[in-house]
Structure 1
Amino acid sequence: MPSPMHPLRAVIFDFDGVVVDSEPLHYKAFMQVLAPFGLTHDYAVYTERYIGFDDRDAFRAVFQDAGRPLSPELFERLLQEKQAAFKRLVSQDLQAFPGVHRLVRDLHREGLPLAIASGAVRDEIVLMLHTLGLKEYFPVLVTADDVAHSKPDPESYTLAVKRLRDRGDLPTTSSGPPNGCLVIEDTPTGIEAAKAAGLFVVGVAHSFSQDDLGQADQVVPAVSDLSVDLLRSFIEKARDP
């Protein structure tokens, strides 16, 4: 029998598609970089095929899907060009999803430690958090720079849990996944990663339909539908199904 869930102890946010509505900006940056190679796609293809990848795996997948070689030199150049294009776009148009500021501040006020586990690179995440005035609330950031494998591999979430434990925010009595640590995700790939790490997952239907997020433990239409009390109730229900 699985052990009962503890009360809510920490919340780990995915970033793109959960905290910020940045996927259209990532898409524009990718297309600007890929246009000279004739490898652009419409947004529907991007969301269906590439949205769950970090930059590295997205470029690899685009070139693989097109049957085109991707040398290490070109790969590194594309990564740098995409990051530069994205930073330009962020400075022009960046929006947090409705309800994000309220939820983050309410969780912080309740003393719940917060983390981010994202496939984006650290510089991009820090830039956006500063732009939105949210940097101070996330002492733990796990980014593409910190892991060898992107989602759906669970590495980013297992590392986020480890860093929360190292800070004393989660119990260290067990090396396994902690009860009461909740993840907020918006993609099937991200949900798969968090579940593989043994974590309780709430899906938000910002990028995919609620039906597409069925692997999550709970699904809501948007972050604006969440509250501290609701997240606690999800964990409580999981204690005694």
Structure 2
Amino acid sequence: MLNAVIFDFDGIIVDSEPMHYQAFQRALEPHEISYSWEEYCESYIGFDDRDGFREAFKAAGQKISSRDLKRLITAKAEIFQTLIREGQISPLPGAVELIGSIPCKLPVALCSGALKEDILPILETLGIENTFRAMVTAEDTKKSKPDPAPYKLVLEQLKIDNPASAIAIEDTPAGIRSAKKAGLKVLAVTNSYDHEYLLDADAITDSLEKVTRLSLEDMVL
């Protein structure tokens, strides 16, 4: 029996990864650190801001202090909010429709490495801000995906004792590993990575337009 559907945010509900990439690059400019979009897709998607900046400094052979890390996270959030106000956001096909098709008795949750202040304005724009029974974002756990901590916290919030009765919907290898380590079933969507990078998921689709509540229920039979 399906007891919960847990959505990732970036790359599942909205096509916000290009905006995160832009915001990272602008925030890193004063430190003379940059990387390509291809490198972002290969190494950074799935990290929260904290680990994303740590990885960027590590790759550049530089150390980052706790104070600079906090400043960078704040700077990136401000840049990201500017991009939202400029209208550079759009829902991915099928996501909002799938969320709306799930009956109220079946809990819907969100598990994301993004900051809550980045997420909430977008959810409000899409009209789904009151849909989620539980929400875990970057501020809520000390470890981010691919660590299982974010999904374990969602399960705790939903009071679900059997993780295999819940489905995570993810688009990255890091997200899949996080959910699988927490014991969930995973539906992967090829929005950010090709099929061959998502083979650890229980099922893979190229669009949420092809997914229904009934097909999700079939995954936990």
Smaller-chain TM-score bracket: over 0.9
User: Are 2:173 and 2:197, in contact at CA under 8 Å, matched by a contact in 1?
Assistant: yes
Q: Give runs of ≥4 in structure 1 deviating > 3 Å.
A: none
The alpha carbon displacement at 1:179 in A equals 3.4
What secondary structure sits across from 1:203 in the alignment?
Answer: strand
Task: Compare CA radii of gyration and give the structure with the larger one.
Answer: 1
What secondary structure sits across from 1:135 in the alignment?
Answer: coil
Q: Any residues of structure 2 matched to 1:171-210 within 5 Å, and which?
A: 174=161, 177-210=162-195
Cα separation, 2, equivalents of 1:57 and 1:149: 9
Kindly provide the CA deviation profile for residues 73-107 of structure 1, in whole angstroms up to 9, marking residues without a partner as x. Answer: 21111111000000111122111101111100101
Kindly provide the CA deviation profile for residues 15-52 of structure 1, in whole angstroms up to 9, marking residues without a partner as x. Answer: 11111111011001111111222211121111101111
Q: Percent identity?
A: 40
Cα separation, 2, equivalents of 1:231 and 1:131: 26
Unaligned runs of 5+ in 2: none
What secondary structure sits across from 2:163 in the alignment?
Answer: coil
Q: Any residues of structure 2 matched to 1:151-230 within 5 Å, and which?
A: 151-165=145-159, 170=160, 174=161, 177-230=162-215
RMSD: 1.2
Cα separation, 2, equivalents of 1:188 and 1:81: 27
TM-score relative to the length of structure 2: 0.96
Amino acid across the alignment from 2:20: H
What secondary structure sits across from 2:220 in the alignment?
Answer: helix
Q: Find the partner of 1:115 among 109, 115, 120.
A: 109
Q: Any residues of structure 2 matched to 1:83-162 within 5 Å, and which?
A: 83-92=77-86, 93-107=88-102, 109=103, 111-162=105-156
The residue that corresponds to 1:47 in the other structure is 41
What secondary structure sits across from 2:80 in the alignment?
Answer: helix
The residue that corresponds to 2:217 in the other structure is 232
Size of the alignment, in residue pairs?
220
The residue that corresponds to 1:3 in the other structure is none
The residue that corresponds to 2:71 in the other structure is 77
